[in-house]
Amino acid sequence: RNGISRPKGYTVSWHANPEVEKHHFGMAHPMKPWRLTLTKEIVMAYGMHTAMDTHLSRAATVEELVEFHKEDYIDFLSSVTPQNLATNYPWLKPGAVGYSGPFFGVGEDCPIFDGLFEYCSLYAGASIDAARKLTSHQSDIAINWSGGLHHAKKAEASGFCYINDIVLAILQLLRHHPRVLYIDIDVHHGDGVEQAFWSTDRVLTLSFHKYDKETFFPGTGPLDDTGPTHPDNPGAHHSLNVPLNDGIDDVSYQWLFESVVGPCIDTYRPTAIVLQCGADSLGHDRLGCFNLNIQGHGSCVSYVKSFKIPLLVVGGGGYTPRNVARAWAHETSICIGADKDLDPTLPLHTPFRHHFAEEGPTLFPPLHATRFENKNPRTYLESIVTAIREQLRYMHG
Ligand code: VJV
Ligand code: CA
Ligand code: ZN
């Protein structure tokens, strides 16, 4: 292939380490790191890699990880193995009762697997590298599809996330940027990032997600959770949440996204943006319940890119690997400005072609088929936009 020419007037960098892709959470676990292999395969088959600076990312160091995480938690992650778990950490054994020591979030969602620490430090290293490319002005858009693990807490793994690479990357950006806007289109609430920056006005967090306190993970992120209630706290009004119901479609989502993100950028005037592109908000996702197509999901990236503000793009959820790969490859093409140039027929050859057999060899299969009825009437979406605009009026500076 001839490849695609570099974008004019700006630089895009791609940060990845193929070692990440080799890790397994366990056979039946929905999180599949090899979706990154599929993504890369599409990106390279189209020749998109020739239009970017591609960096082999390094593992984050312990010093870098403890900029957010608690040291005893990092010690635990770096020393625990499936073999020593039961002997060294007996209180983490299934069924253990009565122990009130550290728990660290280990369980079915966040299992201890072989190479866990290597996996964590590699995806975190890629996000930190990507953030540094932006602060050093060597890159205008930096991409790390292996990152975006928004649920991890200071001393606790949660929802398939162990290290919060997004928080670590934002901490890097904050060394040079006065204000960072974080936008999260994963179907789940970006609770870990929200919590980490709950008390500062230098990061505005905005998550779009399915919200049901009782039945949908993590159960946080209602419309009225906008930051510390005490008004002297600088973080007041600097967390925004867009709680949604099942089945939202491209047209509704795009309208809502632009109606909310536009005013956020105009009011907050961020000097850098981090966009978490969790692909579990697509239709036909194994865990999600929205009806977005690849184009609808991608239009969020196009819209954010159009503001020409230094942009860090990370992955996140996404549990139907072939569609995750389609979405992230399409979004890579948007970042390099080549989306209009791609032939929507996937240029794939064996052995990868068979992964895409279900919907056929197209980049844009219809995913909106009504597995979930759209339970987001226009009146509901309008009330969200009104509430968010109201919340933005409290924000000054
Ligand atoms: O809903 C939950 C928590 C439970 C307890 C643990 N069981 C396994 C599931 C119910 C209450 N967890 C969610 C976590 C979703 C994480 C999303 C992460 C992201 O996309 O936002 C960012 C990367 C959940 N939903 C579905 C599952 N867990 C699930 C976990 C499994 C599984 C099937 C479903 C773990 C192991 C296996 N199957 C074998
Ligand atoms: Ca979200
Ligand atoms: Zn998710």
The answer to the question of residue 6 being in a domain is: no
With a Cβ cut-off of 6 Å, ligand 1 is lined by: 26, 28-30, 108-109, 149-151, 159-161, 186, 188, 217, 278, 280, 287, 316-317
**pLDDT value of residue 231:** 83
CA of 314 to the centre of ligand 1 (A): 20
The answer to the question of residue 350 being in a domain is: yes
The answer to the question of residue 163 being in a domain is: yes
CA of 397 to the centre of ligand 3 (A): 32
What distance in Å separates the CA atoms of residue 338 and residue 370, rounded to the nearest whole number? Answer: 30
User: Looking at the CA of 217, which ligand is closest?
Assistant: 1
Range of the domain at 133: 12-392
What distance in Å separates the CA atoms of residue 376 and residue 252, rounded to the nearest whole number? Answer: 8
The answer to the question of residue 397 being in a domain is: no
**pLDDT value of residue 143:** 99
Q: Which residue's C-alpha comes closest to atom 23 of ligand 1?
A: 317
**pLDDT value of residue 256:** 98
Q: Where are the alpha helices (DSSP H) in 110-164?
A: 116-135
Tell me the three state secondary structure of residue 378.
helix
CATH number at 89 reads: 3.40.800.20
CA of 187 to the centre of ligand 2 (A): 5
**pLDDT value of residue 154:** 98
The 10s digit of each residue's pLDDT in 281-296 is 999 999 999 999 999 9
What distance in Å separates the CA atoms of residue 10 and residue 246, rounded to the nearest whole number? Answer: 38
Residue with tokens 């809502």: 256
Q: Interface pTM (ipTM) of the complex?
A: 0.99
**pLDDT value of residue 94:** 64
Query: How many folded domains does the chain comprise?
Result: 1
Sign of the CA dihedral running 238, 243, 247, 252: negative
Can you tell me which atom of ligand 1 is nearest the CA of 189? 21
The answer to the question of residue 4 being in a domain is: no
**Token code pair at residue 20:** 């990440």
Q: What is the DSSP string of 74-121?
A: HHHHHH--TTTHHHH-GGGSTT--S--S--TT-SSSS---TTHHHHHH
The answer to the question of residue 311 being in a domain is: yes
**pLDDT value of residue 99:** 65
The answer to the question of residue 145 being in a domain is: yes
The residue among 315, 354, 308 whose CA lies nearest residue 332 is 315
**pLDDT value of residue 62:** 98
The answer to the question of residue 268 being in a domain is: yes
**Residue segments in the chain with a per-residue pLDDT below the cut of 70:** 1-2, 93-96, 98-102, 397
